[in-house]
Amino acid sequence: MGRHFVNVAVLWALLTALGIAVILTDFFPVVGAEYAEEFDGIFRLLAFMGVPVLTFVFAVVGYSFFAFRGREDAPEDGPAIFGRGWVPIVWLLVTGGLAIAVMIHPGLTGLAKLAADPDGYGWGETGADLVVDVTGFRWAWAAEYRDLGVTVTQAGGGELVLPVGKTIRFEVNSTDVVHSFWIPAFRMKIDAIPGRTTFMVVEPTEEGSYEEDEAFRVQCAELCGLDHAKMWMPVRVVSQAEFDAWVREHQSQQ
């Protein structure tokens, strides 16, 4: 059995190195909002913690598939293997420790940081510079800029225009089934639930548009029916002056 342990260990090391190389590849979309880069770091941390566990399972199962597969001339099944000894104990301690570590950080520490943010990322009162009421329905989005008298809809070919450097609170609802309000460049998303208002607070940090990068879009991230994939609307982040001009233009049209 010593030879098998060595082979599995080598295979595990190779698969782990490959997995880490993939994680280190910069495949994330553009960072367009506060906390987006931090969320990317959290994702990498969780991936680094999870890859060795995943590759260990792949290495053991994959190697066993070839090394201990049944032979045509085998008279009977091989002996049963029971989960006893130090291997399952170590496995339980390692995976359990990782699960507890993730719950503490970034779980509890991340939630505490968001809840304490003075710009209203938590559950208390918010000092948002702009409030946008978002409604999801099969299969489109509508956004009403509260107090500005401007409404844009996906069906009407509209786009969600936001000022850079401002705190924006999205009040999200649904008229039919559960949708999910997600802007990839901002990383954050929140479910749109019928009969309940949810919210999401973001602060765009980079100007950009869907024409420049497809990560600037509102995308439904909850499978909601036949045309779920078509439920998206362009997002454009602009300067405050350009945003004010856009608002005045749309106010004159509505």
Q: Helix/strand/coil (H, E, C) string of the chain?
A: CHHHHHHHHHHHHHHHHHHHHHHHCCCCCCCCECCHHHHHHHHHHHHHHHHHHHHHHHHHHHHHHHHCCCCCCCCCCCCCCCCCCHHHHHHHHHHHHHHHHHHHHHHHHHHHHHHCCCCCCCCCCCCCCEEEEEEEECCEEEEEECCCCEEEECCCCCCEEEECCCCEEEEEEECCCCEEEECCCCCCEEEEEECECEEEEECECCCEECCCCCCCEEEECCCCCCCHHHCEEEEEEECHHHHHHHHHHHHHHC
pLDDT of 1 = 62
Q: What angle do CA 77, 82, 83 make, to 5 degrees?
A: 145
Asked if the structure places residue 88 within a domain, the reply is yes
Tell me the angle at which helices 86-102 and 36-67 cross, rounded to the nearest 10 degrees. Answer: 160
Residue type, 36: A
**Residues 62 and 147 grouped into a single domain:** no
- What's the predicted TM-score (pTM) here? 0.82
CATH number at residue 206: 2.60.40.420
73, part of any domain: no
User: In this structure, what are the phi and psi dihedrals at residue 61, rounded to the nearest 5 degrees?
Assistant: -65, -45
The structure tokens listed for 91 are 């496995």
pLDDT at position 247:
96
Q: Are residues 90 and 136 in the same domain?
A: no
Same domain, 47 and 148: no
Q: Dihedral of the CA atoms 117, 121, 127, 130 (nearest 10)? A: 140
248 and 138 share a domain?
yes
- Whether residue 55 is contained in a domain is answered as yes
Residue 180 lies in a domain: yes
Residue 198: its pLDDT value, please? 95
Q: Which residues contact 236 (CB under 8 A, 6 or more apart)?
A: 159, 160, 161, 162, 208, 209, 210, 216
Q: Can you read off the two tokens belonging to residue 172? A: 């999200």
Whether residues 164 and 200 share a domain: the answer is yes
The confidence score (pLDDT) of residue 253 equals 81
Q: Quick one: 226 and 162 in the same domain?
A: yes
Q: Does some domain include residue 242?
A: yes
Do 111 and 135 share a domain, yes or no? no
Q: Does 111 share its domain with 136?
A: no
Examine residue 122 and state whether it is found in any structural domain, yes or no. no
Co-location of 134 and 35 in the same domain:
no
Return the number of other C-beta atoms located less than 10 Å from residue 200's C-beta: 20
In a domain, 121, yes or no: no
194 and 88 in a common domain: no
Residues 110, 140 share a domain: no
Let me know if residue 142 belongs to a domain: yes
**Total number of domains constituting the chain:** 2
Per-residue pLDDT of the chain (254 residues; tens, 9 = 90+): 688 889 999 999 999 999 999 999 888 899 999 889 889 999 999 999 999 999 999 999 999 998 887 777 767 776 777 777 888 899 899 999 999 999 999 989 988 887 777 665 655 556 789 999 999 999 999 999 999 999 999 988 999 999 999 999 999 999 999 999 999 999 999 999 999 999 999 999 999 999 999 999 999 999 999 999 999 999 999 999 999 999 999 888 86
Residue range(s) defining the domain that contains residue 32: 2-68+84-115
| Residues 24 and 90 reside in one and the same domain | yes
